[in-house]
Amino acid sequence: MALGAGLTASVGVKPANAATTADLRGNDHTWLYRRLDPVTAANRAFRDYLDGHCMYGVFNSIIGELADQYGEPYSTFPTAMFTYGKAGVVDWATLCGSLNGAAAAISLLSKDSDPAITELFRWHETVALPDFRPADATYEDLGSSIAGSPLCHVSIVAWCEETGFKSFSKERSERCGWVTASVAKKTVEILNAQLDATFSAAHPFSDSKNECVACHGKGGVIENARGEMECMTCHGLGDRGNLRETHPTKLKF
């Protein structure tokens, strides 16, 4: 029996390499999502983080859990590959690894993945994290901070400045495990909400971002940029921002 045929038989999905363009665009490549418990996923994500860092932590807390409960096809996924996402991809501090792992899991399991990922990213950008203390935590309290960004670098700096801990401290390392747990919990909540058809985006874009996009985004007179990240985290007028007094006075914020 061909391996691809086995996958098809077990959950009624096609192996990826049989996908056509229409499949790719229609999300017909997804594997069946089966309801998980958000707190179970969060606690597992922390343990998986200790094994394989942040991206692996979130991804394996979902796909690994489905594998343990249901076997194939979930158990065929080489989840350990996602160790690459650690610290924003092998320490580059680009995209937060827990978000990268969550986006990968959502893409694999959700039939409407784009709004689910965007809601998760906006939540991560705007709420104080970590917001979950794992059962196997070493510390009692590690504080929290609002990253204002999906980027590892920005998130780490915000938390270090908020709490006073250093960026290579044991506390920071555990804090990232708690963030991994927090993101896993939120991801499963979103997947469950989609399963129940109760999902809606609760974290809209900011007024300031909408104003930037009016000129710099699609159809704007400048149209020289793209992206859903909050603009003012890096481009504000404050200490971290690079906006100059010479920017057009249309700017209201």
Instruction: Please give the Cα distance from 211 to 190 (Å, whole number).
Output: 28
**Toward a second copy, which CB reaches closer, 37 or 71?**
71
Among 7, 58, 190, 232, binds a second copy (CB under 8 A): 7
Q: Do the Cβ atoms of 36 and 45 come closer than 8 Å?
A: no
Q: Which of residues 45-104 bind a second copy (CB under 8 A)?
A: 51-52, 56, 64, 67-68, 72-85, 87-95, 99-100, 103-104
16 makes contact with a second copy (CB under 8 A) = yes
19 makes contact with a second copy (CB under 8 A) = yes
Q: Which of residues 204-243 bind a second copy (CB under 8 A)?
A: 216-219, 223-229, 234, 239-242
Smallest separation, CB 163 to a second copy (Å)? 11
Three-class SS of residue 17? helix
Q: Do the Cβ atoms of 119 and 204 come closer than 8 Å?
A: no
Q: What are the φ and ψ backbone dihedral angles of 9, each rounded to 5 degrees?
A: -65, -35
Instruction: Please give the Cα distance from 65 to 59 (Å, whole number).
Output: 9
Rg of the chain on CA atoms, in Å: 20
160 makes contact with a second copy (CB under 8 A) = yes
**Which range binds a second copy by CB under 8 A, 22-30, 133-141, 180-188, 199-207?**
22-30
123 makes contact with a second copy (CB under 8 A) = no
- Which residues fall within 8 angstroms of residue 139, CB to CB, at 6 or more apart? 171, 174
8 makes contact with a second copy (CB under 8 A) = no
